Amino acid sequence: MRGARRMTGDMSAELRAAARTCFDAALAAVEPGRLVASALRRRAAVLALEAPDAVATHRGRVLLIAAGKAALAMASGADAAHARDGVVVVPHAGVAAGPPGVAVLGAAHPVPDAAGAAATARVLADAARAGAETLVLVLLSGGASALLVAPAGDLTLEDKQAVNAVLLASGADIAALNTVRKHCSRVKGGGLARAASHAAGLWTLLLSDVVGDDPAVIASGPTVADPTTFADAQAVVERWLDPAAVPPRVRAHLEAGRQGGAGETVKPGDPALARGVVRVLAGNRTAVAAAAETARRLGYEPQIVTEPLRGDAAAAGARIVERLAAAPRDRPVAVVAGGETTVRVVPGGRGGRSQQLALAAAVALAGCPGAVLAAGTDGVDGPTDAAGACVDGTTLARAHARGLHALAALAATDSHPLLDAVGDLLRTGPTGTNVADLVVALRPAC
């Protein structure tokens, strides 16, 4: 950002506070309980799902199934359903009391565990028992792909854990990751819809954590048709993974599926989908719009990056600062973006995609007035204790004063220790929602 005036302490504090206010407003806009409550209405004995273009109704018993980082909050907003039994699956740290009669079970994220397998077995069994008088109400949010685990064919939980772990470190995007997950699972890719095929109906409410809000990608699409194939899953594995890192049973399962020896995921037109209704309640674009409007209220001219953030996180951070530098200098400016970048993790690197993005932004901002907040809306960025980071034009100098080198940390995908040392990590704890990542970049008039 050449030509800009130097960063001062007061300016840094003001920009950081404003960025956090924008982030908090984004979280409020995607509060899961409120979103679910606004979609469901009860009129006497009739439950209605109200959507912009249609209304679905049901009279009778409701089985509640929820999974994801926002599952418990979503379930709390479903009072109108009058569900008195069901299962909510959340990360272990999020287990708490749920609606009366509904079990809240913990599972591991991002790599599945035996508790997740047991919880998923219960979900599938409950759905299979739902008869013609029962509506299955499914509430899904980001994280459900890992929390719901039911190995297909001869695969074991250990196989699923191994392939999931190497895919997470590979730099593959969520669509690619979920393509493999779906073809190694009995619950994903429409598997839950198959289990609930005898129910009176299957309503799915989604809080989207994926770019484009595609229901087939959100939570790996357990209640919708899957357009991908075993051949697509094989292509992902071949592109992103060392063959030696893929469990032999996974390779054999995908090859058998490609040759027709293993059942495909649910495809469009399958009878299991006939009574299904799907609604996306909110997503990343909702959060971005709320952050931009809050920036406007605070006196910044907002510029929304319409193309979702994708690809390498460090490159995305540099682009955000370029956008900030190119904005008119006669007014305070906010650049707001959202999406889900990727990081090809170097062994030993500690951090997450938001921290990697923020550190790259700090390098580009060095010495100039501006701040960049990058964080996961779920409050978790990679396998760390941080949601992300908020950096400014002084971050690099503060790191160098401690003998820390940002470029080396970026190359090693080891952003967390540096950002922690300079006090730039953003720690929120789990937020109870999840709509991918948000970036708020602010610059004063200069």
User: Structure tokens of 381?
Assistant: 């960025």
How does DSSP classify residue 273?
G
What is the Cα Rg of the chain in Å?
A: 22
CA distance 119 to 394: 47
CB 370 within 8 A of CB 1: yes
CB 131 within 8 A of CB 195: no
Ordered domains of the chain (ranges, CATH): 9-28+289-443 (3.40.1480.10), 32-150+185-228+265-282 (3.40.50.10180)
In this prediction, residue 53 carries a pLDDT of 66
CB under 8 Å to 306, separation ≥6 — which residues? Answer: none
Between vectors from CA 405 to CA 403 and to CA 411, what angle results, nearest 5°? 150
Q: Cβ distance 376 to 343 under 8 Å?
A: no
Q: What is the C-alpha to C-alpha distance for residues 233 and 278, in angstroms, rounded to an integer? A: 25
Q: What is the SS3 assignment for 375?
A: strand
Query: Which residues of the chain, if any, have pLDDT below 70?
Result: 1-9, 51, 53-54
CA atoms within 13 A on the CB side of 197: 10
- CA of 133: how far to CAs of 102, 274, 276, in Å? 19, 16, 15
What is Dmax (Cα atoms) for the chain? 69
Q: Quick one: pLDDT at residue 3?
A: 44
What's the distance, Cα to Cα, between the start and end of the chain in Å? 11
Give the 3-state DSSP-derived string for 185-231, with helices as H, strands as E and coil as C.
ECCCCCHHHHHCCCCCEEEEEEECCCCCCCCCCHHHCCCCCCCCCHH
> What SS3 state is found at 170?
coil
Backbone CA torsion sign across 17, 20, 26, 27: negative
CA distances (Å), origin 183, targets 151, 218, 243, 261, 386:
9, 15, 17, 13, 32
